[in-house]
Amino acid sequence: MIKDCTSVWDSCLRTIRRNVNSQSFKTWFEPIRPVRLSNNALTIQVPNKFFYEWLEEHYVSLLKMTIRQELGENGRLEYQILMGAPVAPTVAKEPVSVRTNSKRSGGIQPGMIDTGNIKNPFVIPGIKKLKIDPQINPTYLFDNFIEGDCNRLARSAGMAIAKKPGGTAFNPLIIFGDVGLGKTHLAQAVGNEVLSSFPNKTVLYVSSEKFTNQIIQSIKNNAVNDFVNFYQLIDVLIVDDIQFLANKTKTQEIFFHIFNQLHQNGKQLILTSDRPPKDLDGMEERLISRFKWGLSADLQAPDLETRMAILESKMSKEGVELPNSVTEFICYNIKNNIRELEGVLVSLIAQSSLNRREIDVTLAKEVIKNFVKQINKEITVDYIQKLVADHFEVPVEKLAGKTRKRSIVIARQLSMYLAKNLTNKSLKAIGENFGGRDHSTVIYSCKAVQDLLDTDMIFKDTVTDLEKKIKLSLNEV
């Protein structure tokens, strides 16, 4: 059989999928495209240089193993880097305006720009030799932005930018995701790192709302040119929530010109949004096109381990300790919003101090009711199937199928065992949820699981963790 690049790469992906977690596979391998197969060399296309460097640093052994498995000992992997985005010009070490005016009496100190007659929309007009306030929260740092599979790409890109602002392929960097996942934190962490490493750089953070209001005022004062000229002096511009620029024609027009000038001069742009550029309705196509020049990186809801790490980090910062049962209960119930984790922690501490109560699961339940509409849920067979399928990384629909693949058989039998022990469903009803199997199959599955529990300690730990997860997440502790 003659192999082609697609079939070879598909075979490689099947091996890779078994050796990495699902989020890493989605982030680092799904975007890759096979290009050609020639002389035992498979060429794959990656989105950018950073992507290639990440694969070489973290997955080179796995890739070498899979390629040789498919093409033999002489098999090779070659990369083709997608070059769709324009390359930023060489970055000057200082803005032109700074160099031009630095010979004046007293010079201009690092971090200061001579605004001349340009009005600064952030301060009272008329002040010269003004140090620009970056408008950044100094507590938003990389050190307290916990890394997980949910944010690794965005965080890594942000760190690369902080080391070389305006000099990477990630210009602009678009950070998108739902509310409360850390977009503002990450964007400002880049700004803080640049300020620390490059004190001569001018960094500015602005919300889209403030940006729009400044434009309105500049139009009223007939000072649009001053407004544009001021923003063109910034080395790293961070604009938060760009989706709110939708349907604001004049604001988009002015932002377009600012964006173009900064990008052409090798300055860095970092934008945040609640959705990817392609879904930004009400935005001019020419702006969306420019947003796609760099890297769009999403922040996803953190997994349980990342949520635990985030909560423990916040506990350490506050100088408090919580019982493990309380920490686990909070993280099982607060799943999609990091801000809510912090809010629950603050509320717990306040309730404990004001009412002189010990922090336990009972108190945690009372507090969480203010954040989650409903935490008391019935344990269902469907819920157990989804949880077990996620744990074993198998499609949930396979549990009701006829496949005899070992990983799916174990997941199916364990789901039946948990359904029997944790729900009030009859054996017949449980079997119906697994493709109409009869009660004798459920009995056999439960016995098979029990036999494994008696002989395999690792499997026993897995079952214990899953039972605990089900009970905690459904408020049955």
The pLDDT tens digits of the residues spanning 62-121 come to 898 899 888 888 888 888 876 443 333 323 233 333 232 333 333 333 344 344 444 555
At 21-41, the pLDDT tens digits run: 877 788 788 889 899 898 888
**Helix (H/G/I), strand (E/B), else coil: 123:** coil
> Is 341:302 a contact under the CB 8 Å cutoff?
no
Distance CA 236, CA 134 (A): 10
Question: What pLDDT does 129 receive?
Answer: 39
What average pLDDT is seen over the chain?
Answer: 80
Looking at residue 242, the DSSP 8-state letter turns out to be G
Lookup: tokens for 181: 């996942």
> Is residue 308 within 8 Å of residue 342, measured between CB atoms?
no
Find out whether 353 and 197 touch, Cβ atoms under 8 Å: no
Domains in the chain with CATH codes = 5-81 (3.30.300.180), 112-299 (3.40.50.300), 304-368 (1.10.8.60), 381-473 (1.10.1750.10)
230: three-class secondary structure by DSSP: helix
Summarize pLDDT for 406-464 with one digit per residue, the tens: 889 999 999 999 988 888 778 888 988 898 898 889 999 999 999 888 888 888 888 88
Report whether pLDDT(233) > 60: yes
Any bridge partners for residue 38, and if so which?
41
pLDDT at 127 over 50: no
Whether the Cβ atoms of residue 142 and residue 157 lie closer than 8 Å to each other: no
Residue 404 has pLDDT above 60, yes or no: yes
Whether 386 shows a pLDDT value over 80: the answer reads yes
pLDDT greater than 80 at residue 207: yes
- The span from the CA of 162 to the CA of 158, in Å, is 6
pLDDT at 320 over 60: yes
Residue 34 pairs in a beta bridge with 44
**pLDDT at site 348:** 82
Tokens of 207: 């919300």
- Chain position carrying tokens 């067979």: 381
Q: Does 472 score more than 60 pLDDT?
A: yes
Kindly report the backbone phi and psi dihedral angles of residue 120, in degrees, each rounded to the nearest multiple of 5, phi listed first: -90, 115
What is the DSSP-derived secondary structure letter of residue 247?
Answer: T
Tell me how far apart the alpha carbons of residues 470 and 223 are, in angstroms, rounded to a whole number. Answer: 60
Model pTM?
0.57
